[in-house]
Structure 1
Amino acid sequence: MDVSGTRATDENTRPPAVIKATARQLLVKVGAGGLSPEAVAGDSGLAVAEVEAVFPHRDDLLTALVIDAYNESAAAMERADEAARAAGASAGGRLLAVTRALRKWSFDNSGEFTLIYGSPVPGYHAPQETVPPASRTPAVLAGIVRSALENGELTPPRRAVPGPPLLRPEAVELFGGLPPAPFSDVIERGIVLWSSLIGLLVFQVFSRTHDSVRDESAYFDFAVAVAAEGIGLVVPLDDGAHTT
């Protein structure tokens, strides 16, 4: 069953769009655990049978929302990267642009952010069809790091990962192959960057830093720059443009 669907607009009031728009509102109100055909029907004005005709089970609806969330957040990053490249930005500037774009999407869509990066939904196991959309975010980051490597914008690390590579073949394939020394561990370092980014967003979206820092958007930029140092990439912080 195709559960990807489309986001509702004024012109598009078909049941799939209405159901998903209602479900997104419920994510904020009651969380993913509160989603059900009955809850969606109650808030959308549709009959339960109409909801179940499109999404027979709660998990079908959750999968549709997960796929949309990954695709839409990654698309925001991809648009930001395209604009940064068009403006002649360095790899560090591109990284700052795409992470800011993901941060904005995360705050604008906190329910969907929580769905894909928050606590697991009890009883729900994401199917294989969610993997390609989920891979788009690290693919954007990998593309920037690969470009930096090819253009000589990376500083060699002071310490290499000890022993054999710590990677699954899928990660090497996503990056486009294993780089030569002294950057042979840049993929591992890129995963550190990726996980640091998501952890930082979790802290900010869930208000874990608001009582520690005075300017959360500026702190976000700073933290991205610090994390990027781990792969030898310099992120410019002197443009004065912070997210809100």
Structure 2
Amino acid sequence: MAPTARELARRTVRDGILAAARARLTAEGPAQLSLRAVARDVGLVSSAVYRYFPSRDDLLTALLVMDYDELGAAVEAADAAAGPDPGRRWVAGCRAVRTWSVAHPGDFALLYGSPVPGYVAPAETVAPASRTTLTLVRVVADALDGAPAGADGAGAGAGTGAAVGAVADGVATLRAAGIELPEEVLVRMLMAWTTVFGTISFELFGHYVGSVSDQAAYFDEVVARLADDLGFSATFG
């Protein structure tokens, strides 16, 4: 059933509010986001914006869901376009994370920067937030396909069992998605995931100034070494 004119108009206004909020994320940062300021940007009185987003937290949640879904869709599309080779898929997926993040630094700060004081993300953000991670984990699972973790086939480190126990929720999420990996791989994948986003964070927040002259090339080197640590080779080109 096609949306009514009223529904289309409401969607247009809502999209405009979200677009204005995204612009303010980049200009001011997530912690400074204000419904009143966003209302001024879109030419509405505050009471009108409250009909779409009753509070700042509701607006933040909508932004989180939108951003996580947008990032996840970009990574999923890159993975699908890369073909069957896991090494090529790994590079494509990681590069898609960086490309989206560099294009949307304010949104990246909302997703992976400092927490917004007084805001706690609700459960509805979990599924969108998992899309990127699950895509990359599936690539690793396909790359290994029963092979031992690590380029040297090394076994689990001394703290692997405790580490996996500490990320039990993440393990349960993977299993619910039909992904089963050895404990050692799970720990290495967690390290890889945080390294990918940490490298991007350092780039966006200026921590590589004076250290890295070519951010894209350095990122590719990180991605290649992470693949080696996980037990397969990254494929570029």
Letter in 2 for 1:227: L
Residue 144 in structure 1 maps to residue 115 in structure 2: no
Deviation string 1:95-146 (CA, Å, 9 cap, x unpaired) is 1101111111001111101101111111111111111111111101111011
Normalising by structure 1, we get a TM-score of: 0.84
Q: 2:197, 2:207 → 1: CA distance?
A: 13
Tell me, what secondary structure is at the counterpart of 2:126? helix
Q: 1:196, 1:101 → 2: CA distance?
A: 15
* Counterpart residue number, 1:73: 71
Q: Which moved more, 1:155-164 or 1:114-123?
A: 155-164
Give the one of 149, 154, 161 matched to 2:157. Answer: 161
Letter in 2 for 1:217: A
* Counterpart residue number, 2:115: 120
* Counterpart residue number, 1:134: 129
Equivalence map 1:34-183=2 (5 Å): 34-85=32-83, 88=84, 90-150=85-145, 155=151, 157-162=153-158, 164=161, 166-167=163-164, 168-173=167-172, 174=174, 176=178, 178-179=180-181, 183=182
Which consecutive residues of structure 1, in runs of 5 or more, have no partner in the other structure? 1-10, 240-244
Structure 1 runs of 4+ aligned residues shifted over 6 Å read none
Q: Is the 8 A contact 2:138 2:179 kept in 1?
A: no
Tell me, what secondary structure is at the counterpart of 1:166? helix
Which consecutive residues of structure 2, in runs of 5 or more, have no partner in the other structure? 1-8
Letter in 2 for 1:105: W
Normalising by structure 2, we get a TM-score of: 0.86
* Counterpart residue number, 1:25: 23
- Report how many aligned residue pairs link the two structures: 222
Deviation string 1:31-87 (CA, Å, 9 cap, x unpaired) is 1122122111111101111100000100000000011111101110000000002xx
Tell me, what secondary structure is at the counterpart of 1:185? helix
Letter in 1 for 2:97: L
* Counterpart residue number, 1:5: none
Q: Is the 8 A contact 2:101 2:108 kept in 1?
A: yes
Q: 1:192, 1:61 → 2: CA distance?
A: 31
- Please identify which structure carries the higher helix content: 2
Q: Which moved more, 1:128-137 or 1:57-66?
A: 128-137
The percentage of counterpart residues that share the same residue type is 40
* Counterpart residue number, 2:188: 189
Q: Is the 8 A contact 2:144 2:231 kept in 1?
A: no
Q: How far 1:165 moved relative to its partner?
A: 5.6
Residue 233 in structure 1 maps to residue 210 in structure 2: no
Q: How far 1:178 moved relative to its partner?
A: 4.3
